[in-house]
Structure 1
Amino acid sequence: MLEFRTEGYNGYAVKYSPFFDSRLAVAASSNFGLVGNGRFYILELTPNGIVPIKWFTTQDALYDLAWSEIHENQALVSSGDGSIKLFDATVDEFPIQGWKEHTREVFSVHWNLIAKDKFCSSSWDGTVKIWSPARQQSLLTLPTQTCTYSAAFSPHSPDILSCVSSDSYVRVFDLRTPTSASNHLTVQIPIHGAGMGAGKPGFPPASGAVPPSEALTHDWNKYRPTVLATAGVDRTIRTFDIRAPNQGPLCAMIGHEYAIRKVTWSPHLSHVLLSASYDMTCRVWSDGSETGALATDTDFMRSGPGAAPTMGRELGRMGRHTEFVTGVDWCLFGSEGWCASCGWDEKLCVWDVRAVMG
Structure 2
Amino acid sequence: MLQFQTQGYNGYAVKYSPFFDSRIAVSASMNFGLVGNGRLYILNLTPNGIVAEQTYDTQDSLFDTAWSEAHENQVAVGCGDGSVKLFDISVPQFPVQSWQEHKREVFSVFWNLVAKDTFASSSWDGTIKIWSPHRPQSLTTLPTHSCTYSTAFSPHSPSILSSVSSDSHLRIFDLRTPTSAANHLVSSIPIHTPLPHVSQIQPVGSNRPPTAFQPSEALTHDWNKYRPNTIATAGVDRIIRTFDIRNYSAPLTLLQGHEYAIRKIAWSPHLPDVLLSASYDMSCRIWTDGSNGGVGRELGRMNAHTEFVTGVDWCLFGAEGWAASCSWDQRVLIWDAKSFMGGP
Q: TM-score range by the shorter chain?
A: over 0.9
Residue 354 of structure 1: SS of its match in structure 2? helix
Counterpart of 1:268 in structure 2 is 270
The one-letter code sitting in structure 1 at the alignment partner of 2:179 is T
C-alpha distance in 2 between matches for 1:322 and 1:200: 33
Q: 1:222 maps to which residue?
A: 225
Counterpart among 242, 249, 252 of residue 239 in structure 1: 242
| 1:51-90 deviations in Å (ceiling 9; x for gaps) | 1010001000000000011110110010000001111111
CA distance in 2: counterparts of 1:142 and 1:232, whole angstroms: 22
Task: Work out the percentage of aligned pairs sharing the same amino acid.
Answer: 69
Cα contact 2:168–2:217 (8 A) shared by 1: yes
CA shift in 2, pair 1:18/1:196, >3 Å: farther
1:85 aligns with 2:85: yes
1:347 maps to 2:331: yes
* Contact kept? 1:109, 1:121, Cα under 8 Å: yes
1:318-333 paired onto structure 2 within 5 Å? 318-333=302-317
Separation of aligned partners in 2, 1:183 and 1:92:
39
Query: Partners of 2:190 and 2:87 in 1: how far apart?
Result: 37
Q: Is the 8 A contact 1:110 1:152 kept in 2?
A: yes
Number of matched pairs: 338
Q: Which residue number corresponds to residue 254 of structure 1? A: 256
Change (3 A) 1:196 1:329: farther
After superposing the two structures, state which structure 1 stretch, 342-351 or 187-196, moved more.
187-196
Greater mean alpha carbon deviation, residues 319-328 or residues 175-184: 175-184
Residue segments in structure 1 that go unaligned for 5+ positions in a row? 294-310
2:215 is equivalent to residue 212 of structure 1: yes
Asked if 2 retains the 8 angstrom alpha-carbon contact of 1:143 and 1:183, the reply is: yes
Aligned 1:276-287 pairs, distance under 5 A: 276-287=278-289
- Of residues 189-198 and 55-64 in structure 1, the stretch that sits farther from structure 2 once superposed is 189-198
Deviations 1:7-59 (A, max 9, x none): 00000000000001110010000000000000000000000000101000100
1:181 Cα shift? Answer: 4.5
Q: TM-score, normalised by structure 2?
A: 0.96
Cα separation, 1, equivalents of 2:98 and 2:292 = 43
Amino acid at match of 2:217: E
Structure 2 CA distance, aligned partners of 1:205 and 1:182? 41
The two structures have a TM-score, normalised by structure 1, of 0.92
**Counterparts in 2 of 1:168 and 1:50: CA distance versus 1, 3 Å:** same
Contact 1:192 1:209 in 2 (8 A): no
Q: How far apart, CA to CA, are the structure 2 residues paired with 1:225 and 1:171?
A: 15
- Is the Cα contact below 8 Å between 1:193 and 1:209 reproduced in 2? no
Q: Quick check: 1:63 aligned with 2:63? A: yes
Aligned 8 A contact 1:78 1:109 in 2: yes
Write the deviation string for residues 164-199 of structure 1: whole angstroms up to 9, x where unpaired. 000000000011111224111101111000226512
For residues 210 and 279 of structure 1, the distance between their equivalents in structure 2, rounded to whole angstroms, comes to: 20
**Within 2, Cα distance between the matches of 1:269 and 1:221?**
10
1:308-327 to 2 correspondences below 5 Å: 312-327=296-311
Q: Secondary structure at the match of 1:183?
A: helix
Q: Distance in 2 between matches of 1:202 and 1:212?
A: 17
Inter-partner Cα distance in structure 2 for 1:209 and 1:345: 34
Root-mean-square deviation (CA, aligned residues, Å) is 1.4
Say if 1:118 and 1:11 are closer, same or farther in 2 by CA, change over 3 A.
same
Q: Is the 8 A contact 1:196 1:210 kept in 2?
A: no
- The answer for unaligned runs of 5 or more in structure 2 is none
Matched residues in 2 for 1:348 and 1:73: separation? 21
**Counterparts of 1:156 and 1:242, CA distance in 2:** 14
Residue identity in the other structure for 2:101: E
Distance 1:348 1:129 in 2: 29
